[in-house]
Amino acid sequence: MEKVQNRWAILVAAIMVNISLGAGYAWSVFQAALLEVHSDWTLSQTSLAFSLSFAMVPISMIICGPIIDKYGGKKVVLASGILSGMGMFLTGFVTSIPMLYLTYGIIVGLGNGAGYGTATSLTVKWFPDKKGLAGGLTAAGFGSGSIILAPLATNMIQSLGVATTFKIVGLVILVIVCGASFWMAKAPTTTTIQTVNQDKNYKEMLKEGNFWLLWVVYVFGATSGMMIIGHAASLAAYYSLGSGTMIVMIVGIANTVGRIAWGTISDKLGRYITVFLMFLASALGLLLLNFNTSLGSMAGILGLILIPSSFGGLLGSFPGITAENWGASKAAANYGWMFTAYGIASIMGPSVASRIKEATGSYSLALIIATVMTLVAAVLIFFFAAKKKRTVLDADEA
């Protein structure tokens, strides 16, 4: 009974860590304020800070993964709180783009990766019986940061300015994440996930074609979500869908609910068919958003719900997919390498959108590219699932 109580306390702490670190998903609110204060900065330059921050996440996860797998996550999450909190605090002092890239892009990104990687891998190990739900709840924490922060940051920026807001948010992150670190206990080996394959380390995993297939699926599937999250406020203004803050909150809510809902569905339908359905929903959302001027603003808002909800479900599913294919004992390190796909998507999505918008004056081509990538991901995961099913059947017959 004690073990059950402990693991739920750990889950709550992991969610609190991810809520705090998920403040980065409210970037478009900060970005708009920065562009007003620094009139010589461009959308592409500030978007790169957002992309760089999320690109640092898998790098940090790769570095910290072996430490988490061997010793647990307390010290790693403590370091995460210090890095992310101080990075946000120091961003309040930036006066140039290179400084923004250093404080927000690199320091905050490395801190977020350490904390997110720990919270994600620990819940996978503590909840082998509810890995979809637990993974979804933990990932939902990361997605829900923008729901809480977007309206607060908007009001704070209006009354205190963007620089002071960065400093206050940084101190809050520091306190919450460092406090939650004391609950990040190492999972006992008896709770690890049962997998089809023998546990493998990242070197063995990287040699397998299945890894690279899933990696491409992850890149293509996550690009649209990062594109929308990074440009939520700008998309709201461009398509006249409402206030930027409201749209950022809608995107955040959809991102959060999607992680929980899709995670729960995956426990019932199976992980691969669920991911396939996510991609179809995301592609539909991209089409609705792209053609909302003809279909009406509600179509655009529905698109902004479908895309991030599917994106959230994707992030909630892939820790379990990685553990199922290569084992749970090295889950933190292995998922760090898988998560590099997310890092690539975080650069591609926002950057492609900003460059196309600046070059053409429209987001249409960017949304078309994202739609095609999402449909390719759907086809690839369909064939991967079919191949995996045949492999299992062949093994049973043997």
Q: Is the pLDDT of residue 192 over 50?
A: no
What pLDDT, in 10s, does the model give residues 92-117? 999 999 999 999 999 999 999 999 88
Q: Is the pLDDT of residue 162 over 60?
A: yes
Helices H, strands E: what count in the chain? 18, 0
Binning pLDDT at 50, 70 and 90, where does residue 47 land? Answer: confident
Total domain count, the chain: 2
- How far is the C-alpha of 22 from the C-alpha of 137, rounded, in Å? 13
The overall average pLDDT reported for the chain is: 87
Q: Please report the pLDDT score of residue 102 as a whole number.
A: 97
Q: Which of residues 154, 186, 218 is at a domain's end?
A: 186
Q: What is the DSSP letter of 183?
A: G
Q: Is the pLDDT of residue 167 over 80?
A: yes
Binning pLDDT at 50, 70 and 90, where does residue 391 land? Answer: low
- How far is the C-alpha of 337 from the C-alpha of 342, rounded, in Å? 10
Binning pLDDT at 50, 70 and 90, where does residue 301 land? Answer: very high
Q: Are residues 98 and 11 in the same domain?
A: yes
Q: Which residue has the higher pLDDT, 2 or 175?
A: 175
Q: Please report the pLDDT score of residue 132 as a whole number.
A: 66
Q: Please report the pLDDT score of residue 393 as a whole number.
A: 54
Does a structural domain hold residue 192?
Answer: no
In the Cβ-directed half-sphere of 142, how many Cα atoms lie within 13 Å?
26
Going by C-beta distance under 8 Å and a sequence separation of 6 or more, which residues neighbour residue 379? none
Does a structural domain hold residue 38?
Answer: yes
Q: Return the exposure string of 72-89: e unless at least 16 CB atoms fall within 10 Å of the residue's CB, then b.
A: bbbbbbbbbbbbbbbbbb
Going by C-beta distance under 8 Å and a sequence separation of 6 or more, which residues neighbour residue 70? none
Q: Are residues 259 and 287 in the same domain?
A: yes
Q: Which of residues 186, 209, 235 is at a domain's end?
A: 186
Q: Is the pLDDT of residue 1 over 70?
A: no
Q: Strand runs (DSSP E) across the chain, as ranges?
A: none
What pLDDT, in 10s, does the model give residues 210-222? 999 999 999 999 9
DSSP helix/strand/coil, 220: helix
What pLDDT, in 10s, does the model give residues 74-92? 899 999 999 999 999 999 9
Domain with 33, as residue range(s), is 1-186
Q: Is the pLDDT of residue 128 over 80?
A: no
Q: Are residues 163 and 288 in the same domain?
A: no
Nearest to 238 by CA among 110, 390, 356, 378: 356
Q: Return the exposure string of 134-155: e unless at least 16 CB atoms fall within 10 Å of the residue's CB, then b.
A: bbbbbbbbbbbbbbbbbbbbbe
Q: Are residues 152 and 280 in the same domain?
A: no
Does a structural domain hold residue 32?
Answer: yes
Phi-psi region of 185 (alpha: psi -120 to 50; beta: other; left: phi over 0): beta
CATH number assigned to the domain comprising residue 293:
1.20.1250.20
Q: Are residues 270 and 323 in the same domain?
A: yes
Q: Is the pLDDT of residue 395 over 70?
A: no
